[in-house]
Amino acid sequence: MSILSEKAGHDLFVYGSLQDPQVVNVLLNRVPDHASAVLSGFHRFRIKNRLYPTILPDSTGEVTGKVLKGITDDERKLLDDFEDVEYDRKAVEVVLTDTSEKLQVGTYVWKNKDDPDLYGEWDFEEWKRGDREAFVTATKKFVEERKLPEAKTRIDTFKTFFKQDDIEDGRPLDS
């Protein structure tokens, strides 16, 4: 039995960039066990000038994603910091795709339900093709910044790396 399996871990439903093993590995230095899942009653939005999505309640919506299993307390704190002040971690029920098992898990929900910058539907496959590389690089910067005495938040780190306030598509500064 591993040390991780002896501790009570947390399960977390992820629906955006955290579905990507590269991003998770940069943050946690490992890729936890995971399973595909569906969250009903929510919609996944694009966010103007951002490369990551958010979700908000929507009675007719359905969001696909993954459940990361066995997240430690320290990892959950790091993920809370990564999601920063824009999100609240909420308890939700998801259904695992392979087994139809229902699970109570945490997920990150956008705080500002009336945000005018939310629109459309965010697409994971599109993100992987066009934005993953830059996002992984920005995530590495976030991890490096956390080691500094006056660490920047994820929002500040990403604003430094991406032109989020200057252009429509939020491309990296060096592109």
Return the amino acid letter for 161. F
Handedness of CA 168, 146, 143, 9 (dihedral sign): negative
Burial class (CB in 10 A: 0-12, 13-18, 19+), 83: buried
Q: What angle do CA 8, 12, 15 make, to 5 degrees?
A: 165
CA–CA dist 107, 18 (Å, integer):
11
Q: From the candidates 75, 83, 121, 126, which is the catalytic residue?
A: 83
Q: Active-site residue 145, yes or no? A: no
Q: What are the tokens at 38? A: 């569906």
CA–CA dist 60, 42 (Å, integer):
7
CA–CA dist 154, 146 (Å, integer):
9
Q: Which residues are catalytic?
A: 83
